[in-house]
A and B are shown apart, each in its own frame.
Chain A
């Protein structure tokens, strides 16, 4: 490829921008539809969740535009500081008087009437830190102890702080995304295989010792065995998806959102989408996410430097892994774990960070080595 390389500023990737606009618009409409019955029942205001989501979408847009115009190379220098701040926040979350507890987990910090999840920030900070460091020390990766191990320690520390909240799904996402960055940076396949052995063994021991996880696994294999208990969510989600058919019941016409699916505006919003918009809607949304993957990987490929490349692939993977995990969970394809659907599920911090990350991705796209298509 003998095209001339250039690092000069160009317009951002239009495909990504448009795709995000469509996904976010659909997301907000679906959130309103899915949340209305619960909002009416519990908050006596059908717009309750919509209002918050609109507010964060607005703030998110501002964040995206700021990030879009903030040269990504400056992030490389900020990365270590950001990571340290995140570690501090993650420790603070665990302090009982500071961390906000819900559903037996300390994951949140309170700011006014809103809650913030430091783990969301940690995901981004870790991507930036790994990308920045690896872009400088890429050649060392062929050595396990000198090269790979220090990164594993850092990743392990972040993951460790999150897993004790406990927040298993965020831990898994961080581990997967970190591994992908290491993989793309050039870590040896052999090392992954070596790491996989103790990881699988460790996971086996954890599952063997943890009754809660066993129950989850069991209910995944046959959700109907415990319809009124652990299997409830899975079964209700399948009812919703199964009721959708090809064209769905029509927008707003889900029945499963009427409290059959607990918190249908959160992790299980995809089921409501499948019920209301049918297979056509599901394929549309998944293809839109695939467009995002394609453009994200393209941005990474054409990034002018390794830092930009790794940040782009990290951000793209962060979104994609969450989408895949979420859909796998709601379709009962993997054991249930709480992963939200980016741009759809309710959740302020998460949306704010996704928008910021898209902003960074768009910024990197401005410096592509090739002409835009």
Chain B
């Protein structure tokens, strides 16, 4: 065998060179892929390798001003499937569906359809209670099921149900704010979502040994409202009752505001909804709901979502006279003592009369306000002239939105007003503003003349209680002078004390206010009026401004003074006593209070004792049963103890346990005078409480109802003229 020659050795070196060259060429190629194309390739690879699930952040809590939670987020679980992974694991889909259906209270078919799908990810059931989630987790572990996960989620709860529902609003399935503060404060409440990242193989199954990476969600901030839960509750109950009492067809609104800082203490609007289930209106029963079409349902849902306090407009009617009066006083065209008359005034061919037939004749301006005489205000407006009158309308904020946190309706107001426009506007007709506009304007009248932006949010806090952001009262402008404001407070208090607002009178609380009744010209159904009452109290140092407005009351009379004023008065009384405002009684108040006496408890006493107690307290009495033996025990009495009834009422004492038969049928007292009503009820053995004077227009027990002998019937009287439009 020959030895390798020089040529071979040269060629071997060439070969070594070639191999080395190619090796380095490939090293460069790998380097190119890893460093030049690396990030892009890595991104593309990551896209196919990773799967991410969102963890909802905990939405912030909404509190009332005293820290009572109105909207909270609770931890719940969401059950979802990775159908491919589940199918590939060879699990018995039928069995899995059956077990899941049982645990989640779903139909087996529904679950089976979801887990049999050819999709990478499916929700099986969202937002189940944590206990249910725990059960599913335990079962997954025990049965070694892969491809089904239980993830943390949060659910919005409104512990007070429909309370303040329009203010709070509601959230959708992804916890996003849909309405109200939930929507308006979304940026603070929502927080930042977290993620669960996991890596998967080419079949979409989670890679074993690789742990899921959690990116923690960031909780949302809390919103502290200016709303006071108790005042809100009182306001809602007040209008709920008013709706029933006055057969109100289109709902009602009540707003309570602190005039000194623009904080809204209550904003109630009916009909309302339960934000826990916002898509099912509360006021519709199941049978009706089931028979409704999708469109009807949608309309019903949106009508319950409407916040009438600011999403609807109305003609303010006579409540607006306070604005005309303020402008007139401020500009000096009128004083409270100015002599005016309310004879018919003709503007542009239209005759404008006082609501009272034959008018009140010559009176002071203060009386004109008390009696709500339209011609008086037309003349004030005419004295001001269009420019000055509308300057005040603008100053009071009627041409702008109030600037509250929630979306407001567009106002309908004259762009280029004429004489007749101004004439009717002077008493609040033919333009439309929101109820909140009126409250805001009254706040300016009540607080010394400053227009303040109304607001619902006091501050934003984090979970440690730190204040993230504080919303200070925002002064818009000075509208009228302190002096004019002081005058107006006195004038409006007189409206309640002496005028059409008498039914809002609350002994000791110096309620000021103005009635309003307006006709809604677009509506053709029954009761096409809005009866309203604007109040503030105490008149010398106002703490609250209250508006109650009833939309379409299907009763007669339907004026604000008769049906809205008592609601507003009662509401003012409840709120101020909750706020522990001290009552300052006038001499007249004391006298009136003394007329009512609480019924003493004489049950279990002998007749002899009972008689002397009652006589001493100024009551009359009648004995039912054996009255011969004065030592016999009183078994029962009507009215029951602790009822406040007028002095000289008759207490019925029973010496036996009265049965159902001793009942009296209540008669119809409509249009009876006070004397007639007293006589009729006395004759039947019933007691009477008289409210107002004139002729009866309402009684607390309806005609035909049966009450125990000796029971107290409350009857309301009025001057027949009052029933007409103001």
Residue of B nearest to A304 (CB): B3
State whether the Cβ of A294 lies closer than 8 Å to any Cβ in chain B: yes
In the complex, the answer to whether B37 meets A306 with C-beta atoms within 8 Å is no
Residue of A nearest to B8 (CB): A184
Q: Given that A286-B23, A313-B15 are known contacts, is A186 also in contact with B48, CB under 8 Å in the complex?
A: no
* A289 contacts across to B, CB distance below 8 A: 23
**Interface magnitude class on chain A:** 35 or more
Flag the segment in A13-21, A26-34, A116-124, A323-331 that touches B: A323-331
Bound-complex Cα distance A313 to B27 (A): 23
One of A301, A306, A313 near B1 (C-beta < 8 A): A306
* A307 contacts across to B, CB distance below 8 A: 1
Q: How far is the CB of A98 from chain B (nearest CB, A)?
A: 36
Bound-complex Cα distance A239 to B44 (A): 7
Flag the segment in A58-66, A100-108, A162-170, A277-285 that touches B: A277-285
* B22 contacts across to A, CB distance below 8 A: 324
The total of interchain contacts (Cβ-Cβ below 8 angstroms) comes to: 143
State whether the Cβ of B12 lies closer than 8 Å to any Cβ in chain A: yes
In the complex, the answer to whether A241 meets B15 with C-beta atoms within 8 Å is no
Q: Given that A286-B26, A304-B3 are known contacts, is A184 also in contact with B45, CB under 8 Å in the complex?
A: no
Q: How far is the CB of B120 from chain A (nearest CB, A)?
A: 15
In the complex, the answer to whether A259 meets B203 with C-beta atoms within 8 Å is yes
Bound-complex Cα distance A314 to B11 (A): 13
State whether the Cβ of B20 lies closer than 8 Å to any Cβ in chain A: yes
State whether the Cβ of A37 lies closer than 8 Å to any Cβ in chain B: yes
Flag the segment in B28-36, B67-75, B141-149, B594-602 that touches A: B28-36
Bound-complex Cα distance A340 to B23 (A): 16
* A274 contacts across to B, CB distance below 8 A: 30, 33-34
Within 8 A of A (CB), among B6-55: 7-9, 11-13, 15-16, 19-20, 22-23, 26-27, 29-31, 33-35, 37-38, 40-42, 44-45, 48-49
* B7 contacts across to A, CB distance below 8 A: 186
Within 8 A of B (CB), among A176-227: 180, 183-186
State whether the Cβ of A320 lies closer than 8 Å to any Cβ in chain B: yes
* B40 contacts across to A, CB distance below 8 A: 242
Q: How far is the CB of B159 from chain A (nearest CB, A)?
A: 47
In the complex, the answer to whether B3 meets A242 with C-beta atoms within 8 Å is no
In the complex, the answer to whether A306 meets B8 with C-beta atoms within 8 Å is yes
Flag the segment in A150-158, A243-251, A349-357 that touches B: A243-251
* A300 contacts across to B, CB distance below 8 A: 4, 12
State whether the Cβ of A79 lies closer than 8 Å to any Cβ in chain B: no
Residue of A nearest to B16 (CB): A297
Bound-complex Cα distance A214 to B49 (A): 31
One of A138, A255, A297 near B49 (C-beta < 8 A): A255
Q: How far is the CB of A33 from chain B (nearest CB, A)?
A: 12
Q: Given that A242-B34, A245-B38, A258-B201 are known contacts, is A309 also in contact with B26, CB under 8 Å in the complex?
A: no
In the complex, the answer to whether B41 meets A279 with C-beta atoms within 8 Å is no
Secondary structure of the A contact surface, majority rule: helix
* B34 contacts across to A, CB distance below 8 A: 241-242, 244-246, 274, 278-279, 282
State whether the Cβ of B207 lies closer than 8 Å to any Cβ in chain A: yes
In the complex, the answer to whether B30 meets A324 with C-beta atoms within 8 Å is no
* B2 contacts across to A, CB distance below 8 A: 135, 138, 305-306
Bound-complex Cα distance A243 to B202 (A): 16
Bound-complex Cα distance A150 to B16 (A): 27
In the complex, the answer to whether B8 meets A185 with C-beta atoms within 8 Å is yes
Bound-complex Cα distance A283 to B16 (A): 18
* B45 contacts across to A, CB distance below 8 A: 239-240, 242-243, 255-256
State whether the Cβ of A370 lies closer than 8 Å to any Cβ in chain B: no
In the complex, the answer to whether A136 meets B19 with C-beta atoms within 8 Å is no
State whether the Cβ of B342 lies closer than 8 Å to any Cβ in chain A: no
In the complex, the answer to whether B12 meets A184 with C-beta atoms within 8 Å is yes
In the complex, the answer to whether A186 meets B5 with C-beta atoms within 8 Å is yes
* B8 contacts across to A, CB distance below 8 A: 184-186, 306, 309
Chain B 198-210 against A: per-residue CB contact (8 Å), 1 yes, 0 no? Answer: 0111110001100
Bound-complex Cα distance A217 to B194 (A): 45
Chain B 207-220 against A: per-residue CB contact (8 Å), 1 yes, 0 no? Answer: 11000000000000
One of B23, B26, B38, B208 near A242 (C-beta < 8 A): B38
In the complex, the answer to whether A331 meets B26 with C-beta atoms within 8 Å is yes
In the complex, the answer to whether A331 meets B203 with C-beta atoms within 8 Å is no
In the complex, the answer to whether B4 meets A290 with C-beta atoms within 8 Å is no
Q: 5 more A-B contacts (CB under 8 A) besides A138-B2, A183-B11, A328-B26?
A: A255-B45, A290-B19, A300-B12, A313-B12, A327-B26
Q: Please provide the 4 A-B residue pairs with the shortest distance between their CB atoms, ordered closest to farther.
A: A242-B41, A258-B201, A239-B45, A259-B202
